[in-house]
Amino acid sequence: MGLSLSTAAAPELDLEALDIACRDRGLDGVELAAVSASDLDALDARTSMASGARIVALRAEGLSPETAPRLARASGRLGVPLSVPSEALAPSDLSDLAAVFHREGGRLLLAQGCGLEAMAALVAEIQVARVGKPWSQGGDGPLGVAWELRPSSESLEDGSAVLFIARELLGLVRLHGGGPEQHDQDGLGVGGLLADLALSRYQGTIVLTPSRPETLPRWAKWLASRRSAGCGTIAESNRVDLDVRPVEPRDRLETILGTYRSLSRGATMELTVDHDPSCMYYTLEATEAEGSFTFRKVEDGPEVWRAEVTKL
Amino acid sequence: MAKTELDIRVVPPREKHPTIFRTFDSLAPGEAFTLVNDHDPAPLRHQFEATRTGVYSWSYEESGPSVWKVRIGKNA
């Protein structure tokens, strides 16, 4: 399972700059989004010069008789799938489209959200389109499913069942959110679905894409700033307020331990976090001398947790 | 057997550890999954040590600088 970013998250960045930002973030690669037919020439140019960039998927919002063969060729040449919203395609065209993608060695993924009935219908349409075709054998044919997860605007309640239906045809997961939008999606069920996805042994890519255009400035900032500063404030000499919510997760442990270790004996750190801080209790238990601190939760979620840590 | 991977980077902060423990608790003895994260999940390991003592295994497959991968197994 690899995590990648859609070019839709950074329309201003060219492919090379986006690729560098992805590498800095530990993301595996980029999904190239071609929004319209006129983008196709630009797409051709980008894919042919994209020697250094790792392209993991292509995206189009629709297919026409003119664009389908070109996108199929790009998909085959790059060895990555193309996803298209299923509602943009007529079921009666699937068989012909599959033949085009089969000929070009590409793969077409029909994108569908968390609606159970819609996914069941889509899987049935794909199975019908496969009947009697030379490529109908094997799960790696020219037609598959891309799963669109929109936790901010769509209920994920049926997600586990949708995954169960789609799992054999599933070639891509597109998460509308994640990245700088993680906090907005707290409690909306992404965690549970990711666990289901892992347990279903999904091997493909998860592409992050902005949930809506208004969030684009936050994505730009997220991609530009690899690290964020700590934000402890010393209110009184024996009391430190440390709110790590704006701190990047990877910098949090160092920030918290650093602050704790700088406390004088008898001083208290009030820690504010956006998740249950029990792991910090266990970490202090393991790393600090026995009996050298007290740890008391003073607020226990569901949005914010606070703990008072006193050095003895 | 196909590899089970859980990429925790996209999961909102307060769901991260519950998601990981849910995945671990769903494993059969002898099974394992690979946790993918953007930092060293050391605090998680301390939590495993305290709450799943003796029933888990932990081995790093990749240690930064951008991505950490840990194979977490349930002992048979």
A123 and A144 in contact (C-beta within 8 Å)?
Answer: no
A26-30, A174-178, B60-64, B69-73: range with highest mean pLDDT: B69-73
Q: Identity (one letter) of the amino acid at B41?
A: P
- Which of these, A43, A48, A45, lies nearest to A59 by C-alpha position? A43
Q: Which long-range contacts (CB under 8 A, 24 or more apart) does A250-256 make?
A: A250/B38, A250/B39, A250/B40, A251/A227, A251/B39, A252/B39, A253/A283, A253/B39, A253/B40, A253/B42, A253/B43, A255/A230, A256/A280
Nearest CA in chain A to B62: A26
Place of tokens 């599933």: A170
Place of tokens 């919002």: A61
- Which of these, B29, B2, A227, B43, lies nearest to B20 by C-alpha position? B43
Choice between A39 and A115, residue whose per-residue pLDDT is larger: A115
Amino acid A198: pLDDT: 81
Place of tokens 């051709």: A44
Q: Identity (one letter) of the amino acid at A150?
A: R
Amino acid A31: pLDDT: 92
Q: Which residues of B touch A202 (CB under 8 A)?
A: 5
Q: What is the 3-state secondary structure (H, E, C) of chain A?
A: CEEEEEHHHCCCCCHHHHHHHHHHHCCCEEEEEECCCCHHHHHHHHHHHCCCCCEEEEEECCCCCCHHHHHHHHHHHHCCCEEEEHHHCCHHHHHHHHHHHHHHCCCEEEEECCCHHHHHHHHHHHHHHHCCCCCCCCCCCCEEEEEEECCCCCCCCCHHHHHHHHCCCEEEEEEECCHHHHHHHCCCCHHHHHHHHHHCCCCCEEEEECCCHHHHHHHHHHHHCCCCCCCEEEEECCEEEEECCCCCHHHHHHHHHHHHHHCCCCCEEEEEECCCCHHHHHHHHHHCCCCCEEEEEEEECCCCEEEEEEEC
Contact B49 A1 (CB under 8 A): no
State chain A's mean pLDDT as an integer: 84
Amino acid A226: pLDDT: 58
Helices A67-78 and A39-49 pack at an angle, to 10 degrees, of 10
Among A141-150, A193-202, B60-69, which is the least confidently predicted range?
A193-202
Tokens encoding A187: 């409690």
Can you tell me the mean pLDDT for A65-74? Answer: 90
* Residue A308: pLDDT over 90: yes
Residue in B1, B6, B7 to test binding to A, most A beta-carbons within 10 Å: B7
Q: Does A139 touch chain B (CB under 8 A)?
A: no
- Choose among B6, B14, B40: nearest Cβ to A301: B14
Choice between B5 and A184, residue whose per-residue pLDDT is larger: B5
Q: Does A201 touch chain B (CB under 8 A)?
A: yes
Alpha-carbon gap, residue A15 to A152, rounded angstroms:
28
Tokens encoding A189: 């069920």
Contact B11 A276 (CB under 8 A): no
What pTM, to 2 d.p., does this model score? 0.75
Amino acid A201: pLDDT: 80
- Which of these, A125, A207, A192, lies nearest to A159 by C-alpha position? A192
Amino acid A48: pLDDT: 55
Can you tell me the mean pLDDT for A257-265? Answer: 85
- Strand order from edge to edge, sheet including A305-311: A232-236, A239-243, A268-273, A305-311, A293-300
- Choose among A194, A203, A279: nearest Cβ to B17: A279
Confidence of residue A89 (pLDDT cuts 50, 70, 90): very high
Q: How far is A223 from chain B (nearest CA, A)?
A: 14
* Residue A234: pLDDT over 50: no
Q: How far is A276 from chain B (nearest CA, A)?
A: 7
Confidence of residue A259 (pLDDT cuts 50, 70, 90): confident
